[in-house]
Amino acid sequence: MNEIPEFLNELNDSQRAAVEYIDGPSLVIAGAGSGKTRVLTYKIAYLLTQGVKPWDIMALTFTNKAAKEMKERIAALVGMEVARYLRMGTFHSVFSLILRSEANKIGFDSNFTIYDESDSRSLCKQLIKEFGLDDKVYKPGEVMKRISAAKNRLLTADDYAEDFEAVQRDAVDGMPKIHVIYKEYANRCRLVNAMDFDDLLLNTYLLFKYNPEVCNKYAEHFQFVLVDEYQDTNHVQQQIVMQLTKKYKRVCVVGDDAQSIYGFRGANIDNILDFQEQYDGARLFKLEQNYRSTQRIVEAANSLIHKNERQIHKDVYSRNDEGDRIELTGLNSDREEALFVVKDIRQRIRQEGAAYSDFAILYRTNSQSRAFEDELLKVAMPYRIYGGLSFYQRKEIKDVVAYFRLIINANDEEALRRVINYPARGIGNTTIEKVAAAARISGISMWDVLCQPERTELNVNKGTLTKLTSFRMMIEDFAGRVETVDAFELGKDIIKQAGISQEIYSSTEPDYLARQEHLEEFLSSMQEFVEDQREQGNPTDLVSFLQDVSLLSDREDDTDDTPRITLMTVHSAKGLEFPNVYVVGLEEDIFPSQLSMNSMREIEEERRLLYVAITRAEKYCHLTYARMRFRFGKQEFHAPSRFLRDIDPKLLNVNGGSSSYSPARRTAYSGGSRPSLFGSAPEYGSVGRSSVPQQRRMQEPDRSPSLRPVSKASFTSSSAMRGGGVSAAFSIGDHVVHDRFGAGIVTNMEGNGDSAKATVEFTNAGTKQLLLKFAKLRKL
DNA sequence: GGAGCTTCAATTTTT
DNA sequence: TTGAAGCTCC
């Protein structure tokens, strides 16, 4: 019998029970802040002490980050020599590896390309055009959504065409040809040896379904399968887990139905709700002690989430301090809201000695960040906005990756289209479309056309043909070196020889400088990859690098460790925690979103979203709403969010006035209540005097003059004056303020007169070069 | 091939 | 209001 490892003593009773049950299927419902990751990591470590081999364990996560963190934590318990053999990673990465080794069974080549969303989109668009369909009717985004949803329901293109209901629905929506597009999309992917993100899952499912011997092999191999964030799985993922665990049924899924907020991208909360019905005799473990938040925060969140109907009952509790009540403040406008939050943060920093990094401002939509950004810039408080482009979505990175892709899979049409004329080499759109047309006629890939133009219908002049040929030879030349040179060396050469570095280093304009930096960062990540792989005795070639990078979309790691206030959507905040949290914009049509009011299912997801937001807070949670906000260039008036009425009033501290609010008026989906849309009936209190919004906006002294309705003539002359009069006044080391970028320090000056340029390091906006003629810089 | 114009839409996001 | 994307013109 194996010994009971010491580390189990670090767990509480319910955590420990969940960890020690390893004989059959189990569902671990992990309340917010209850030590979910701890249970998963300790369970894996425990399995390893019970004689299970690391390679017999599969652990699936949703993000690379989660996988990496978990692996590190397990390594801390059992050592990296053991941990490295675990089959641990995202669904997509784990199954893409299996697909590569079984590719021939489903008619793919093992070096298949993974199409990201923009590749899929671009292919979709292409097809809509080829079929002569109106892209106003067949919006690429909508088409993709339907194809993706079909794959989610395990429907191949042929299944879809025969699915009466689906085809009928498309027809009713004016898009009867969706199934045709889907079919050709699938054909094209197969022709060029590519799979999109959904295909990675669907093809795994199909591989197992039609090759029982393959399925059995893996089902016998993986004696234990663990799934993190199970509430976020979609139907295919659930089905694959079932295929893999049908033999031993040793499966442990961990998650929190109350934090299921990704329904819009296919996550199916029923997977977790119905788990016990799908696995007969599955044990249920509930982790109900919250270690993160104060009692009042936990209770307030509970009171909210209990208004949902579909959920697994749990009693989440905290033994931390009772803490303060949740603050609720109504403001007159979005600007006042931002001003208020910023002031409140400043006050708390002064009073409690808190750091900027102890604060988060959470909102429903990214566009809400703007108002807070403006205020924070004005007072030069450091912040960081999350969201926006990830590193690998940047054009300069995608271009280089496209070269890599093309070199490894020359049939990859999206990559070919991307780089065939980048940097510019005189192969224009006309030529590209001619190549594409020739390829379609012969049923071959565009690359094949380049390889034997004389045997196709390609009709281009001699000069163009020469350009095409030399491009082809360049790619072939790179491809010939894949096996002899490591990824980093080859990467450097590609960037140089393809003319990318020449293009990017052709200017010192700020955006070029940024691209140079990104490219260098990318190269150094390649170098790191090669060194790591070499150390571990793994292959260092471009093929392995690309496999790695295709499934990464890492938000860039903060190289800068200045403490900053965090601004992000509630979605991105899942899994994080902060001592102080502001949840802003709690208004009808915003939170809950106007677009999520069609069904009870959607409203409940919005309510869970607020639950996630509140449970991010450790000590202090402040909810705000604005009566008026500017949206799409118009003033809009919104009632306070219905969810505010779902929170137990005993746990709320309503600021600035009466805490009584109008009685609940029940509506179909409210679960709780709906606030009165009209009337001046006393609702939630407000802080600050009420005022006419437009006037406030105009009177605001700090606001740049450009916001005022000014005639073109007067605007031009005033900015010209400013440029001429002020330009000489700056010197290195000056503290300055810019209307958009906020506060900063001048680090360099060059040129004079109209071309005088200042380099300014801004607290929040990074380093910029500004032409003084245009930039409205003020000295502090 | 790029600058400048018009048009249109407008959640949430990871792989 | 902002922004992306597509189109036209040089």
Reported in sequence order, the residue ranges of A26-181 that DSSP labels E, i.e. its strands, are 26-30, 57-61, 87-90, 113-115
CA distance linking residue A742 with residue A300, whole number of Å: 37
State yes or no: is A220 an active-site residue.
no
Q: pTM score, two decimals?
A: 0.86
Estimate in Å the CA A118 to C1' C6 gap, whole number. 17
Q: What is the pLDDT of residue A709?
A: 28
Strand B close to A633 by CB, under 7 A: yes
Estimate in Å the CA A632 to C1' C1 gap, whole number. 5
Q: What is the pLDDT of residue A457?
A: 86
10-residue mean pLDDT profile of chain A (780 residues): values are 81 96 96 95 96 96 94 94 95 97 96 94 92 89 93 96 94 92 96 96 98 96 96 97 95 97 94 96 96 98 96 96 97 96 97 96 96 94 89 89 96 94 89 92 95 90 92 96 96 94 83 86 94 93 94 70 93 96 97 93 96 98 97 93 97 71 40 37 44 34 29 30 45 74 74 66 68 66
Q: Is the dihedral of CA A35, A241, A268, A576 positive or negative?
A: positive
Strand B close to A547 by CB, under 7 A: no
Closest nucleotide over all strands to A118 (CA to C1'): B15
Q: 3-class SS at A458?
A: coil
Estimate in Å the CA A734 to C1' B4 gap, whole number. 36
Q: What is the pLDDT of residue A553?
A: 78
CA distance linking residue A356 with residue A353, whole number of Å: 10
Q: Which run of H or of E encompasses A767?
A: strand A766-771
Strand B close to A572 by CB, under 7 A: yes
| Contacts of residue A564, Cβ cutoff 8 Å, sequence gap at least 6 | A356, A357, A382, A383, A384
State yes or no: is A616 an active-site residue.
yes
For A161, phi and psi rounded to 5 degrees? -60, -25
End-to-end CA, chain A: 73
Measured CA to CA in angstroms, residue A610 lies from A232, A243, A599 at distances of 17, 35, 17
Q: Which run of H or of E encompasses A363?
A: strand A359-363
Q: What is the pLDDT of residue A770?
A: 66
Q: Which of A250, A434, A607, A616 is catalytic?
A: A616
State yes or no: is A233 an active-site residue.
no
Q: What is the pLDDT of residue A149?
A: 94
Reference A376, options A367, A389, A385; nearest CA is A385
Taking residue A511's Cβ as centre, other Cβ atoms within 10 Å add up to 8
Residue A564 · residue A357 · CB < 8 Å: yes
Estimate in Å the CA A716 to C1' C3 gap, whole number. 25
Tokens representing A481 are 């070196």
Q: Which of A102, A170, A196, A228 is catalytic?
A: A228
State yes or no: is A413 an active-site residue.
no
Residue A398 · residue A580 · CB < 8 Å: no
